[in-house]
Amino acid sequence: SAKPDPILKASGVRRSFGGLTAVNVERLEVQRGTITALIGPNGAGKSTLFNLLTGFDRVDAGEWSFQGRSLNRLSGHKVARAGMVRTFQLTKALTRLTVMDNMLLAAPDQFGEGMLGAFARPVWQRHERLNRTRAEELLDRFKLLAKKDDIAGSLSGGQRKLLEMARALMVNPSMIMLDEPMAGVNPALVQSLLGHITALRDDGVTVLFVEHDMDVIMGISDWIVVLAQGQVIAEGRPADIRANKQVVDAYLGA
């Protein structure tokens, strides 16, 4: 088997809400270039763990690094710039803006034109053109190009999930974390989402995703990490996880 090459390493990551320990992860590694599934019953702490690792919530304790660089206490914005992006279980598209504006707002080099002198303007315009080109390529890939001038609020639930993935890719990330990307998506779109996820991995983007559908998980994952009551209770290849009674029980107990 391949030598371990973790792109993300975390240890001792803890977060409590009042008396409830939502996340208590001793150790987590995500190997570069894999599709890794994070599974576990509702309330296991999956979304909270995503929030912590991507700077959308603060840990009580713990440390983690991405591509060898510590990400502790960086804001979500800075984590994204470091190359680790995430989507949300409930989509965060800005519903009153157009699809294209949603894309451009996610671009890595957003800075106000007003702050720049005439000398810098050509540079800004070049960035703007490149961002638009990248946005159009991504929208095309996700079959949303025809909707680029529609407001995001007019999209279906499934299309919003696709927009959220496309947006996340504007920064050209090394790793993408997807929180229930298929939830509420119709079966036809699920197939296309699965295709996008494997295509990302094949392009060298590491994928960590949260999902409940066992067939989906077993079908596309290289590695599975099982979370229950905030702790990693098992991890392994799909076949090993499927055969693990403790895991099956954690699921049936959900």
CB of 213 to Mg ion, least distance (A): 14
CB of 19 to ligand ADP, least distance (A): 10
Interface residues for ligand ADP in 36-65 (CB under 6 A)?
Answer: 40, 42-48
Query: Among residues 46 and 161, whose Cβ is nearest to Mg ion?
Result: 46
Q: Looking at 7, 10, 13, 22, which residue binds ligand ADP (CB under 6 A)?
A: 22
Query: Among residues 28 and 166, whose Cβ is nearest to ligand ADP?
Result: 28
Which of ligand ADP, Mg ion, none does residue 22 bind (CB under 5 to 8 Å by kind)? ligand ADP
- How many angstroms from the chain centroid is the CA of residue 204? 15
Query: Among residues 115 and 252, whose Cβ is nearest to ligand ADP?
Result: 252
Q: Does 87 bind Mg ion (CB under 5 A)?
A: no
Query: What gap in Å lies between CA 35 and CA 148, rounded to an integer?
Result: 29
Q: How many residues does the chain have?
A: 254
Laid out side by side, the sheet with 61-66 consists of 20-31, 6-17, 61-66, 69-70
Residue 70 CB neighbour total at 10 angstroms? 11
- Hey, what are 174's tokens? 């090394």
Q: Looking at 5, 20, 143, 219, which residue binds ligand ADP (CB under 6 A)?
A: 20
Interface residues for Mg ion in 45-64 (CB under 5 A)?
Answer: 46-47
Query: Among residues 17 and 111, whose Cβ is nearest to ligand ADP?
Result: 17
Question: Long-range contacts of range 133-140, CB-CB < 8 Å, 24 or more positions apart?
Answer: 134/107, 134/170, 135/100, 135/103, 135/104, 135/107, 135/166, 135/170, 138/103, 138/166, 138/169, 138/170, 139/99, 139/100, 139/103, 139/166
| Residues contributing to the site for ligand ADP (CB under 6 A) | 17, 20, 22, 40, 42-48
| Residues contributing to the site for Mg ion (CB under 5 A) | 46-47, 89
